[in-house]
Amino acid sequence: MATHHHLLFFFHLILMLSVIAIQTFATYACNAVEREALLTFKASIFDGIQHSLSSWMKIKTAVNGGECDNTTTRNILELNLRNPYQYWENWTNYALSGEINPSLLALNYLTRLDLSYNNFSGVSIPEFISSFNNLTHLNLSYSKFEGKIPHQLGNLSKLHSLDLSNSLFIGTVPSQLGNLSSLLYLSLNLAFNDISMPNADNLEWLSQLASLKYLDLGFINLTNSANWLHIINRLQSIKVLLLSDTSLPSSQNSFSYVNFTSLTTLDLSSNWQFNTTLSSWLWNLTNLSYLNLEDRQLHGMIPNALGNLTSLIYLNLAQNNLEGPLPKSLGKLCNLRVIDLTSTGIGGDIQELVGMVACTWNNLHEIILSSNNLQGNLSNWLEHMTNLKHLNLHDNSLVGEVPLGIGNLQNLNTLDLSSNSLHGVISEAHFANLTKLNDLRLSSNSLIILVARSWIPPF
């Protein structure tokens, strides 16, 4: 306890000395007009009920927050007021709130503005932000801004990155965002307070963002965007596309030519209204490393063309209505680390299924095959999965004993074999080497468990 107090005292001492040094830097190194602008801005906001941000703000506005350039004018180029306590349980107690003073307009050379993880509830994004003509990065995420997204943001012609995620906006996405022709990164994930109504009139404006590499529109209502896929097909530079839970209309299954083949990450999960077969254009995205199609009401068979996606590391087809056996081409996906086929209706012998990915046995970290119709036993394959961290085979029709070879899986963190027809004895020998195991589920089997409770987690 004494050591803890000593460390805490030492930390506060260092912080206090840093503040003194940085205040000196702010006084003599930065442009006087801009320094006064920051002081006016600071006076207009509240620094949380803990009142602990006064020193933090001095640090952030003087160094990381208000970084000066290396010229004789010493203009502020970056203003980083991101709440550094966002991972704390009570992080909002340390957040900034109140009005954003237009005194910031004096920062004529500003290129980066970050107000993320603060609490501007009841406040709209000030329109004057659109006057920062040199701004390249704008991050207002997780700060509870309300009102409409100002269409004036479309004036920020040099903007490379725009993050408005996790906000409380109303209305729709302004089409003027299409004027941001230099944009590389755009996130509107969870940006709107009400997603019961469409949050976009259409997505035509996206087609103007030819340089866009990262797009996240997750959890906003895109019901009115019937031609979304044809618009995405115009984004030849796109690498990350996240459209989870967006009420997307069902898309056409084919293109004469797929333009966005540079895509490495695709998330179309939780768009349950699709109710269609797997789209043929998917199999042309041969650079994909992450594919999430969970909960899209997909039906039909998984085509052999799945094997085209040899770069896949993560594959999630869970919560769909797929039919028939998995294609043998699954065996070509030798880079797989995670496979999730929960509630897809697959059946057959589990050893044959896992055998298809024999080339990746030593690479797989997570196998989730719960709530299916799989049969067979765990012997002669499970012991080879030496890098496996998570295995979930809950609610299948597996039989036989749990092999002692499970002890080879020394990286195993979670194991769920519940609701099967396994039998035999589970002893301490099964788990002696599984020192990382912290979640074990064996219920609803015919197992005799001869293990002291202290050896394994609750099951």
Alpha helices by DSSP H, listed for 180-281, are: 228-232
pLDDT value of residue 353: 87
Give pLDDT tens digits for 173-223: 999 999 999 999 999 999 999 999 999 999 999 999 999 999 999 999 999
pLDDT digits (tens, 9 = 90+) for 420-434: 999 999 998 998 899
**Has residue 339 got a pLDDT over 70?**
yes
Compute CA 386 distance to the chain's CA centroid, rounded to the nearest angstrom: 27
Q: Is the pLDDT of residue 138 over 80?
A: yes
More confident residue, 44 or 146: 146
For residue range 275-328, what is the model confidence (pLDDT) as tens digits? 788 888 999 999 999 999 999 888 888 999 999 999 999 999 999 998 878 899
Give dist(CA 57, CA 452) in Å, integer.
54
Q: What is the pLDDT of residue 317?
A: 95
What is the pLDDT, as a whole number, of residue 266?
98
Q: Residue 392 and residue 339: Cα distance in Å, rounded?
A: 11
Predicted confidence (pLDDT) per residue in 377-425, tens digit: 999 899 989 999 999 999 999 999 999 999 999 999 999 999 999 999 9
The dihedrals phi and psi of 406, each to the nearest 5 degrees, come to: -60, -20
Q: Where are the alpha helices (DSSP H) in 71-142?
A: none
Looking at every residue in the chain, the average pLDDT score rounds to 85
Question: What secondary structure does DSSP assign to 219-242, as a single string?
Answer: TS--TT-TTHHHHHTT-TT--EEE
> CB neighbours of 138 closer than 8 A, spacing ≥ 6?
112, 113, 129, 153, 156, 159, 161, 162, 163
Please determine, for residue 162, whether its predicted confidence score (pLDDT) is greater than 80.
Answer: yes
| Residue 101 or residue 25, greater confidence | 101
Long-range contacts of 315-319 (CB under 8 A, 24+ apart): 315/291, 315/339, 315/340, 316/269, 316/291, 316/292, 316/340, 317/293, 317/341, 317/344, 318/294, 318/342, 318/343, 318/344, 318/368, 319/294, 319/295, 319/343, 319/344
Residue 410 structure tokens? 């020394």
Residues in the chain: 459
Alpha carbons 287 and 309: distance in angstroms, whole number: 7
